[in-house]
Every structure is written in structure tokens, then in C-alpha cells.
Amino acid sequence: MSQIHVTTKINGDETEFLCGPEETLLDVLRDHLGMTGTKEGCGTGDCGACSVTVDGRLVCSCLMLGAEAEGHEIGTIEGVAKGDELHPVQKKFLDHAALQCGICTPGFLVAAKALLDRTLEPTEEEVRYWLAGNLCRCTGYDKIVRAVMDTAAELRGA
């Protein structure tokens, strides 16, 4: 089985990798690049634990082949903080206790950041629908939604 050579940018870093044609971007991140912050909860796009951005757009990395990443910019949970400085939404997740077990948290944070990159004035309903593709079984979503709303308020200086 011939491997495909892919050149991409991950969290701002030029990255090259070889992958099998059937391997997903999630497989590549976790198994080839050691970036295990992106989680697999279902492998079928139903849980959002593997959320990443591709050219700024939120996608499930389990629903994309590694080969499709050629020439695109990928953003993962490992790139949400800038060095030691947490992104405000990461801080708010801690402040609001918006995680219990933490397995869905990377996907929620990548998704929430993608929302906040588009708008700082989301309504509660918009937050809930934007995040509907990210399953959380621990929290009942209450504290997650509050954390995202509070981040938006802080970022818009309210």
C-alpha cells in the first residue's frame, strides 16, 4: 500500500507526514504525529470529540482523510493556548467547572473557539446549536454553555 506524502501546516508549524490513503486526519494526528489531545469518541462524526479546524473552519477530523489536508492549515487543541498562556475560553472552562471527565473538552474548546472567532455576541441558543455536534455525557451542558457565554462577554469587554 503506497503512502501519500502530505505537506500541511499544523498549529502554525509547517508539517510533513506520510499516511495511508485510507487513514483519516484523526489517525494521522494521533498515531503518526503524537497529537493525542484530539480524541476519538465515535469515528463517524457524531460526537465532535475529534474537532479541529481546517483553514479556520470547524470539522471532524475523523471525517476527513489525512491526504485531504494537503496545502491546508490545521488547528488542534494543542494550538489553542499560546505557549503557557491559556486562551480565555480555556480559562473560563476551568473557572466554571465546565468539565468533569474531560474527554470531550478538547473538542468543545476547539468548537467554542471557532464560534468566538466568528462572533463575540452569540445568544445562548446560538451557542447551544453551534455546540450540538459536541456530545458531553457528564455535565448536562449547563456549565459549558455558561463558560462560552462568559468568555464571549469578557472578550467583547462587557
Partner 1 sequence: MRYEAPSSFEEASGLLAGETGVTRILAGGTDVLVQLRSGLVEPDLIVDIKRIPGAKDITRTDDGGWRIGAAVSGAEMGEHAELKAAWPGIVEAVELIGSTQVQGRCTMAGNLCNGSPAADSVPAMIAADAIAEVVGPSGTRDVYVEEIPLGPGRTRLEKGDVIAAIRLPARPERAGDAYLRFIPRTEMDIAVVSAGVSLCLDASGKVLDARIGLGAVGPTVVNAAAAADAIIGTTLDDAAIAAMIEAVATACSPIDDKRGTVKFRTKVAGVLAKRAALKAAERAKA
Partner 2 sequence: MALDDRFHNRDFKVVGNRVTRPDGIDKVTGRARFGADMTAPGMLIAKVLRSPHAHARINGIDTSKAEALPGVKAVVTYADFASAHAPDDDNLVNCMAKDKALYDGHAVAAVAAISTAVARKALKLIEVDYEVLPHVTDVDEAMKPDAPVLHEDAQDESVPAGTPKNVVRRYEFGHGDVDAGFAQADKVIERSFRTEAAHQGYIEPHACLASYGSDGRADLWCCTQGQYAVRAMCAGMLGMQASDLRVTASEIGGGFGGKTTVFIEPVALALSRKAGKPVKLVMERSEVFRASGPTASTSIDCKIGMTKDGRITAGRAELRYQGGAFPGSPVEFGAMSGFAPYDLENVQAIGWDVVTNRPKQAAYRAPGAPMAAYAVESVIDELCQELGLDPLEVRIRNCAHEGTLSPYGVTYPKIGLEETLKAVQSHPNWTAPLGPNQGRGVACGFWFNFGGNTCVSLNIDEDGTVSLSTGNPDIGGSRASMSQMCAEELGIPYDRVRCSIADTSLLGYNDVTDGSRVTFAVGLATIKAAQDAIKKMCGRAAAIWGIPEDAVEWEDGCAKPAGPNAGEHPPMSLAEIAAVSSQTGGPIAGHYECNADGAGVSFATHLVDVEIDPETGFTKVLRYLVAQDAGKAVNPDYVEGQFQGGAVQGIGWSLNEEYIYGEDGRLQNAGFLDYRIPVASDLPMIDTVIVEVPNPGHPYGVRGVGETSIVPPLAAISNAVSHAIGKRMTQIPMSPPRIVEALEG
45 binds partner 1 (CB under 8 A): yes
Which option in partner 2, partner 1, none does residue 86 bind, with CB closer than 5 to 8 A by kind? partner 2
When the beta carbons of 131 and 147 are compared against partner 1, the nearer one is 131
Q: Is 131 in the site for partner 1 (CB under 8 A)?
A: yes
31 binds partner 1 (CB under 8 A): no
Does residue 133 bind partner 1 (CB under 8 A)?
A: yes
Give the list of residues 6+ apart from residue 113 with CB closer than 8 angstroms, or none. Answer: 80, 87, 89
> Which positions from 41 through 80 interact with partner 2, judged by CB under 8 A?
41-44, 46-47, 49, 76-78, 80
Nearest to 69 by CA among 122, 5, 127, 128: 5
- Check binding of 129 to partner 1 (CB under 8 A): yes
User: If binding is defined by CB under 8 A, does position 149 make contact with partner 1?
Assistant: no
Residue choice 139, 150, 151, 152 for contact with partner 2 (CB under 8 A)? 139
Residues 74-133 interacting with partner 2 (rule: CB under 8 A): 76-78, 80-81, 86, 90, 93-97, 99-106, 109, 125, 127-129, 131-133
146-149 contacts: CB < 8 A, separation 24 or more?
Answer: 146/96, 146/98, 147/89, 147/92, 147/93, 147/95, 147/96, 147/98, 147/112, 148/89, 148/92, 148/112, 148/115, 148/116, 148/122, 149/122, 149/124
Strands of 20-111 (E only): list them: 51-54, 57-60, 73-75
Closest distance of CB 23 from partner 2, Å? 9
Cell matching residue 66: 489525512
